[in-house]
Amino acid sequence: MTIAVSPDAHPALVLNADYRPLSYFPLSLWSWQDALKAVFLDRVNIVSEYDVLVHSPSFEFHLPSVVSLKTFVRPSRQPAFTRFNVFLRDRFECQYCGSRDELTFDHLLPRSKGGQTTWENVVAACSACNLRKADKTPAEVGMQLNGRAFAPTVHDLHRNGRLFPPNHLHESWLDFLYWDVELDP
Ligand SMILES: [Zn+2]
């Protein structure tokens, strides 16, 4: 195949068989190579295409912009514990002062005192608050948490995700992203 397309460009949004994104956080995206492979292996349907052609001697193909799995995959109910998802749970705000500048991660019980890197022990904190708290617990330095450190549900992250949509959304994806729809029962 002679293809002049950057590997990072033109990712495909991957939908489950029910036409909802396979995952939101992170948004399920495949490289165009993986998307084409899945098309050839007959694992996905093409829902929408980019206006970009790839050629080989025997065929011509539009790169898929949205694909849907042919077989439904049960979505995981527990969001992955990732840095992004911790920030999303905490709405990209320092959990002590509300600042959005220079966000870092703070261990409530410091690691030096056996604190673990878990949903319940990690919060977003601006670097000033993190410095001030240093190697202490919030109580020891008289700092108050705005919220509480908890393991969020997918619904919790959806709710906050609508406030912070990703930067780059292809127009063909928008029909399948429910940022504006109330998903909570
Ligand atoms: Zn702060």
77 CA to middle of ligand 1, Å? 31
Q: How confident is the model at residue 4 (pLDDT cuts 50, 70, 90)?
A: low
Distance 134 CA to ligand 1 centre (A): 12
- In this prediction, residue 184 carries a pLDDT of 42
Answer for the pair 94, 126: CB distance below 8 angstroms, yes or no: yes
Q: Can you state the percent helix, strand and coil of the chain, rounding each to 5?
A: 25, 25, 55
Kindly give the distance from the C-alpha atom of residue 19 to the centroid of ligand 1, in angstroms, as a whole number: 40
Q: Give the list of residues 6+ apart from residue 44 with CB closer than 8 angstroms, or none.
A: 14, 35, 38, 64, 67, 68, 69, 70
Instruction: Note residues around ion ligand 1 (Cβ under 5 angstroms).
Output: 94, 96-97, 99, 126, 129
Give the separation between CA 68 and CA 36, rounded to whole angstroms: 12
Q: How far is the CA of 132 from the centre of ligand 1 (A)?
A: 9
Ligand 1 center to residue 112 CA distance, Å?
A: 21
For position 180, what pLDDT does the model report? 47
| Rounded mean pLDDT, 91-116 | 95
The predicted model gives 78-92 an average pLDDT of 91
Cα separation of 151 and 121, whole Å? 10
Query: CB within 8 A of 185, min separation 6: which ones?
Result: none
Question: 112-144: per-residue pLDDT in tens?
Answer: 999 999 999 999 999 999 999 999 999 999 999
Q: Is 0.95 topped by the overall pTM?
A: no
Q: Which residues of 133-149 are buried (b: 16+ CB within 10 A; e: fewer)?
A: beeeebeeeebeeeeeb
Q: How confident is the model at residue 5 (pLDDT cuts 50, 70, 90)?
A: low
- Does 152 have pLDDT greater than 80? yes
